[in-house]
C-alpha cells in the first residue's frame, strides 16, 4: 500500500498516540520503543499502526503496503524535531567473523638494539666466621677434625643470561692491604642455572680460615672480601672492601681464644681447680662485646698423643693453660725432685714442661709441626709451675710465630696464680680489647706484685725487621742527625 505524499503529520501523531496507548509495555521510562520493520513476529503491530494512520486521515494511493522503513525515513526527513515520531530501531549488529584458533606464541629473537647484557652479583653467605677449631672431642683426625659450621663461609655468585657450563673463579683478599690470601684462589667452579657452584660437588663454593692465612694482622682489622670472575662476557664483581663504611657486607674473622685445663683439683686451700680457672679466664676473654670466640677443653685422660693437644692449640689468637708444670730430664724423662723454689740446680739437661695427665709438653713437642700445626698468634699464658724456669719451651713457642709467652720460674701458689691471671686478662681484654701491643705494659704493671711468690717472666719475639725501603730511610736520617 502506498500513501499520498506528503504524509499527513497530524495522522502520524494521532496514530502514534493510539498505538502506544494500546501498548504501554512498549513505553519504558517515558521513552517509546520502536517496532522492528523486518521482524515477522511484529507484523501485526505494524499493520495495527498503518490502520490507525489511515483511520486518523492518512490517505492511500495504491493497493500495496508501503514498507515501514520507507515511511520512517520520510518521517525523519519531514519532521526532524518531532519527539513523538516512531523511533527508528537500532540496526542489528553485523555478525562477527569466525575467530581463528589461537596460535602458539613465539617470542622473536631480540634485535641487536634489544640485546640483554648478562650480569653478575656477589656476596658472602654471612659476615662473621671463626677460625677452624675442633668440632668433636676427641678430634676425628688429630691434629685436625671436622670443620664446624661456624668456621665455614660460602661465596654466593648470581648471574643472569649466562650459559650453563661457563667456568668461574673466586679469589679471597685482605680488605686492608688488598693482598691475596694464601691459597685463596678457588677454581673448578661452574655456572649452573645462573649460579656458581663447585664443579664436583654441585654445592656453593666454601672457605674456612686457619693460621696460614695470616689472621688478625693487624689485630683489629680482620676483614676480607672476595672477587668472582665468570668466563663469559668479561663478568667480574667483588664484595665491598671498605670495611669502615660497609662492615655489614665484608667478612670478619673472630678472635679465637683457647683455654685448657686438666681435672686435677688443688690440694691446699682455697682448693681451687684448674677447670674453674679455665672457665673464669674464658668468661673474661669473652666479655660482653662481640667477635671473641672461646674454645675450652678439659684434658681428663692420663695419656694421649701430642697431636690431640696440637688440635686444640692450632689457629688461635691467644691460649691460656691451667695445669701442672715441672722440670724433666731430657734423657731419662725423670721429673725433678727439689725443695728449693725456684730450683737452684744448673740447667744442664733439665727442660721446662707443662703437664697434662701424665704427658709432658715442652720444646720438642711444640716444635713438631706434624703434631702441632700452629702456635698461638699473640699470647701463650702458661699458668703452671716452672714453665719459664729455663727458656727452651718459651723460645720454641716464639720460633713457631707466637709474639709473647708469659710463664713462671717458681713453683707457684694457686691463689696468687689465679689472681695474677685474673688481673692481667681483665685489663688486656676489658680495657685494651686484646691489643697485642699492650701485653708488655700490662705484664710490667703486675709483675712486681707477684715477683716474690712466682717470679713471672715475659718472653717476646723480636720485632719484625722493617721493609728495606723503610730501613734505608731510617739509616739516612740517622746519618744526617749524626753529622
User: Which part of the chain has CATH 3.40.50.1460?
Assistant: 255-460
287-322 pLDDT per residue, tens = 987 899 999 999 987 889 999 999 999 999 999 999
Lowest mean pLDDT, pick from 90-99, 113-122, 152-161, 225-234: 90-99
> Parallel, antiparallel, or unpaired for β 206-207 and 255-262?
unpaired
377-434 pLDDT per residue, tens = 999 999 999 999 999 999 999 999 999 999 999 999 999 999 999 999 999 999 999 9
Q: What is the pLDDT of residue 265?
A: 55
Q: Quick one: cell of 433? A: 680489647
Q: Which residue has the higher pLDDT, 467 or 120?
A: 120
454/408 Cα distance (integer angstroms):
6
Lowest mean pLDDT, pick from 81-95, 277-291, 294-308, 450-464: 81-95
What's the mean per-residue pLDDT of the chain? 86
Exposed e or buried b for every residue in 76-91, given b needs 16+ CB within 10 A? eeeeeeeeebbeebee
Let me know if domain 118-253 sits in CATH 2.60.40.
yes
Q: What is the pLDDT of residue 39?
A: 84
Q: Which CATH code for domain 255-460?
A: 3.40.50.1460
5/74 Cα distance (integer angstroms):
9
Cβ(251)–Cβ(151) below 8 Å: no
User: Which part of the chain has CATH 2.60.40?
Assistant: 118-253
Q: What is the pLDDT of residue 477?
A: 44
Residue 65 has pLDDT above 60, yes or no: no
Q: What is the pLDDT of residue 96?
A: 53
Residue 84 has pLDDT above 50, yes or no: no
Q: What is the pLDDT of residue 479?
A: 44
Amino acid at each position: 500500500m502506498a500513501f499520498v505524499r506528503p504524509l499527513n503529520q497530524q495522522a502520524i501523531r494521532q496514530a502514534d498516540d493510539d498505538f502506544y496507548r494500546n501498548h504501554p509495555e512498549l513505553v519504558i521510562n517515558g521513552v517509546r520503543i520502536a517496532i522492528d520493520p523486518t521482524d515477522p513476529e511484529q507484523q501485526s503491530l505494524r499493520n495495527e499502526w498503518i490502520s490507525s494512520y489511515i483511520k486518523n486521515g492518512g490517505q492511500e494511493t495504491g493497493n500495496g503496503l508501503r514498507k515501514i522503513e520507507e515511511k520512517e525515513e520520510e518521517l525523519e526527513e519531514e519532521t526532524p524535531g518531532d519527539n513523538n515520531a516512531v523511533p527508528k530501531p537500532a540496526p542489528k549488529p553485523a555478525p562477527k567473523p569466525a575467530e581463528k584458533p589461537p596460535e602458539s606464541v613465539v617470542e622473536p629473537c631480540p634485535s641487536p638494539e634489544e640485546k640483554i647484557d648478562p650480569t653478575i652479583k656477589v656476596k658472602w653467605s654471612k659476615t662473621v666466621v671463626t677460625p677452624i677449631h675442633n668440632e668433636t672431642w676427641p678430634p676425628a683426625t688429630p691434629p685436625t677434625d671436622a670443620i664446624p659450621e661456624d668456621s665455614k663461609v660460602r661465596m654466593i655468585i648470581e648471574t643472569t643470561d649466562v650459559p650453563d657450563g661457563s667456568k668461574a673463579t673466586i679469589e679471597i683478599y685482605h680488605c686492608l692491604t688488598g693482598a691475596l690470601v694464601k691459597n685463596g684462589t678457588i677454581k673448578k667452579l661452574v655456572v649452573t642455572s645462573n649460579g656458581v657452584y663447585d664443579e664436583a660437588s654441585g654445592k656453593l663454593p666454601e672457605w674456612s680460615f686457619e693460621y696460614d692465612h695470616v689472621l688478625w694482622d693487624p689485630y683489629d682489622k680482620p676483614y676480607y672480601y672476595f672477587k668472582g670472575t665468570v668466563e663469559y662476557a668479561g663478568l667480574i664483581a667483588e664484595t665491598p672492601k671498605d670495611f669502615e663504611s660497609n662492615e655489614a657486607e665484608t667478612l670478619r674473622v673472630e678472635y679465637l681464644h683457647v683455654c685448657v685445663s686438666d681435672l686435677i683439683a688443688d690440694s691446699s686451700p682455697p682448693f681451687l681447680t684448674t677447670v674453674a680457672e679455665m672457665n673464669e679466664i674464658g668468661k673474661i676473654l669473652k666479655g660482653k662485646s662481640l667477635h671473641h670466640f672461646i674454645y675450652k677443653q678439659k684434658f681428663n685422660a692420663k695419656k694421649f698423643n701430642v697431636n690431640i693437644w696440637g688440635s686444640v692449640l692450632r689457629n688461635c689468637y691467644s691460649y691460656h693453660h691451667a695445669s701442672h708444670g715441672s722440670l724433666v730430664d731430657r734423657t731419662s724423662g725423670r721429673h725433678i725432685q727439689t725443695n728449693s723454689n725456684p730450683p737452684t740446680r744448673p740447667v744442664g739437661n733439665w727442660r721446662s714442661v707443662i703437664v697434662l695427665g701424665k704427658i709432658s709438653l715442652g720444646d720438642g713437642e711444640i716444635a713438631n709441626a706434624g703434631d702441632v700445626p700452629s702456635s698461638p698468634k699473640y699470647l701463650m699464658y702458661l699458668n703452671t709451675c716452672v714453665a719459664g724456669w729455663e727458656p727452651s719451651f718459651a723460645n720454641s713457642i716464639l720460633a713457631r710465630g707466637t709474639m709473647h709467652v708469659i710463664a713462671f720460674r717458681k713453683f707457684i701458689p694457686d691463689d696468687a696464680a689465679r689472681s695474677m691471671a685474673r688481673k692481667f686478662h681483665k685489663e688486656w681484654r676489658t680495657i685494651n680489647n686484646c691489643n697485642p701491643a699492650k701485653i708488655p705494659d700490662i705484664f710490667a704493671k703486675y709483675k712486681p706484685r707477684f715477683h716474690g711468690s712466682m717470679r713471672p717472666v715475659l718472653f717476646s719475639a723480636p720485632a719484625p725487621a722493617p721493609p728495606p725501603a723503610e730501613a734505608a730511610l731510617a739509616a739516612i736520617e740517622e746519618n744526617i742527625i749524626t753529622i
